[in-house]
Structure 1
Amino acid sequence: MHSDRHHLVLGGDLPVHRLGFGAMRLPADDPAAAHALARRAVELGVTFIDTADSYDLGRNEELLAEALHPYPDGVVVATKAGQCHPGDDWIPLGRPEYLRQQAELSLRRLRVERIDLFQLHRVDPAVALADQIGALRRLQDEGKVRHVGLSEVSVEQIAEAGRITPIVSVQNRYNLDDRRSEDVLAHCERHSIAFLPWLPIAPSVRPGSPVTEVARRLGVTPAQVALAWLLRRSEVVLPIPGTSSLRHLEENAGAAGVELSDEDFQHLDQLGRTAGMSRA
């Protein structure tokens, strides 16, 4: 995977900017606002958008298609299946027939003939991982999915899945405060796998924190500092901050231009490791 400060190439053939957009919080009850957010993200240079079949029961995918289809050249819309969301619960659901059904529905809702990146949203402990990845591999063989990714997985699960089909992305929770996936990030670096941290803006951006002190000195927002730290942390990292606010979207996009000094980066890095150890 080729990567630099601003770009990376997913799977060897999908170049994207390294600051993406998580579409989960698009307001389903306000389509006009949702469309405006998606279009503004692309205007700001976002070329990687993350969604899922379970976000608002598929409505999230429909909103993206309404706003952006036909998709501008270079824009990659990645989606996920393998987790349902009835009411307040998130339940892994990885039966092969269900994954196939959801892929077919995502193709229809996104108005595409092939999903560029299809990610297993969660590993279903009741179904053999080989069966879950095998279903995604069959979709690839049929030309309905280009690349396969995983979410909330261990190094061992990545390796097992990779024996069935190449894994080009891993989406685990990771931010300044939450380093539990440090070993997964290291694995992704070794194997040129994109690492997509969800919830990338850590709780440590609250007022009075060291993050806000760095932000004040640089004349930027704490959220921008948190994202800039992630972008510098590793060239395989592709943060996907989400928001329902145009102002926050524009602020987040500005993080790509924030340059942390070596001293600031190391200071923030150490603070995050200390916070992680205190919770262990």
Structure 2
Amino acid sequence: MHPTLGPDGPTFSRLGLGCMSMTGIYGATDPHEAAATVLEALDSGVTLFDTGDFYGDGANEELLGRTLAPHRNRAVLATKTGVRRTAEGLLPAGSPDELRRACEASLRRLRTDHIDLYYLARIDPAVPVEESVGALADLVAQGKVGHIGLSEVSAATLRRAHAIHPISAVQTEYSLWERHVENDILPTIRSLGATLIAYSPLGRGLLTGTVRATTRFEVGDFRATAPRYNGDALKGNLAIVDAITRLGAAKSAVPAQIALAWLLTRGNDVIPIPGSSRRPHLRDNLAAVDLHLTATDLADIDAAVPDTGAHGARYGDHGLALIDQ
């Protein structure tokens, strides 16, 4: 059974494609290979493509717009707004005027007349969430947006937002070693009939098994300064990856496939959006859909991953301050 976007939205693929990495957040990329990856994903049955207006300062939306414009009727386009990039880092920008201007700019870059799923990327503490969601609801009424989503939001704020307009999807980090969503947020999402879109399902690349203690991240790579990917935290996390790698070897699967297959067991309303800017990685990820994990496999995975999850915070202090608690 194909998942749907909320209770009455379009159906889409079991895995989506996160596109953030196509414009430099993890180092230099090849835009031609990134575009080829998008098209191969589409031809392989992927229909959900996720971007944001602050990814590459709009370059990510432009890449997706150029690539998918001839195939618009086959794609569910999701983008995010509500933050602006400054010299100090990202800052929330959730006023109605800012959201309206951002939507018009995203429509131009994406080369479309409507956005299927439009997220408020972060809650602006200076603007009541009711005002921000009210502005997004106006965009729905105008036909410029199909469905509204929120990202990194608390259960309480989600309920407040949903009282203004149905929230079809919530995007948050969810993976084998980042399971905070299971406490309050996922039960609330399900009570409202929304869908959970799981970003960073591969731990920003660590759960692929390709990062080692000797890895040096490029200048500009988010992971170069993130606590979880450095020092003693990295060493502890690589031990978890090694355990998952051993479990995967017994099933002739790479660790990324184990991590994604595990997430797919969480429910048909949980949609992982692993990011990839290269076709070989995309193919590895898509193979996870057909990987069956037995009850014994799941028990072994639970035993291999500590209840506390990954070592180290997933963001630095500035990034954590942007998350609605």
2:96 corresponds in structure 1 to 96
Q: Which segment drifts farther, 105-114 or 269-278?
A: 269-278
Q: Map Cα deviations across residues 188-231 of structure 1 (whole Å, 9 max, x no partner).
A: 22332110111111345546632112210110110011000001
Going from structure 1 to structure 2, the CA distance change for 1:164 and 1:229 (only over 3 Å counts) comes to same
SS at match of 1:177: coil
1:8 corresponds in structure 2 to 3
Q: Which segment drifts farther, 223-232 or 196-205?
A: 196-205
Distance (whole Å) between structure 1 residues aligned to residue 88 and residue 70 of structure 2: 33
Instruction: Give the structure-2-normalised TM-score.
Output: 0.79
Any stretches of 5+ residues in structure 2 without a counterpart? 210-237, 314-325
| Preserved CA contact (<8 Å) 1:58 1:109 | yes
Going from structure 1 to structure 2, the CA distance change for 1:88 and 1:69 (only over 3 Å counts) comes to farther
1:250-261 alignment to 2 at 5 Å?
250-261=283-294
Q: Map Cα deviations across residues 100-141 of structure 1 (whole Å, 9 max, x no partner).
A: 101011111111111111010111111111111111011111
Task: Count the aligned residue pairs.
Answer: 275
Q: Which amino acid aligns with 1:10?
A: L
| Preserved CA contact (<8 Å) 2:244 2:304 | no
Going from structure 1 to structure 2, the CA distance change for 1:269 and 1:90 (only over 3 Å counts) comes to farther
1:189-200 alignment to 2 at 5 Å?
189-200=190-201
Q: Which segment drifts farther, 57-66 or 159-168?
A: 57-66
2:267 corresponds in structure 1 to 234
Computed over aligned residues only, the root mean square deviation of the Cα atoms, in angstroms, reads: 2.1
1:265 corresponds in structure 2 to 298
Distance (whole Å) between structure 1 residues aligned to residue 89 and residue 74 of structure 2: 35
Q: Does 1:132 align with 2:137?
A: no
Any stretches of 5+ residues in structure 1 without a counterpart? none
Instruction: Give the structure-1-normalised TM-score.
Output: 0.91
1:70 corresponds in structure 2 to 70
Q: Percent identical across equivalent pairs? A: 39
| Preserved CA contact (<8 Å) 2:17 2:274 | yes
1:217 corresponds in structure 2 to 250
Task: Specify which structure has the bigger relative contact order, considering alpha-carbon pairs within 8 angstroms and separated by 6 or more residues.
Answer: 2
1:158-177 alignment to 2 at 5 Å?
158-177=158-177
SS at match of 1:90: strand
Q: Does 1:50 align with 2:50?
A: yes
Among candidates 15, 19, 26, match of residue 23 of structure 1: 19
| Preserved CA contact (<8 Å) 1:149 1:168 | yes
Q: Which amino acid aligns with 1:214?
A: L
Distance (whole Å) between structure 2 residues aligned to residue 120 and residue 184 of structure 1: 16
| Preserved CA contact (<8 Å) 2:207 2:256 | no
| Preserved CA contact (<8 Å) 1:23 1:242 | yes
Q: Which segment drifts farther, 260-269 or 145-154?
A: 260-269
Going from structure 1 to structure 2, the CA distance change for 1:238 and 1:49 (only over 3 Å counts) comes to same
1:143 corresponds in structure 2 to 143
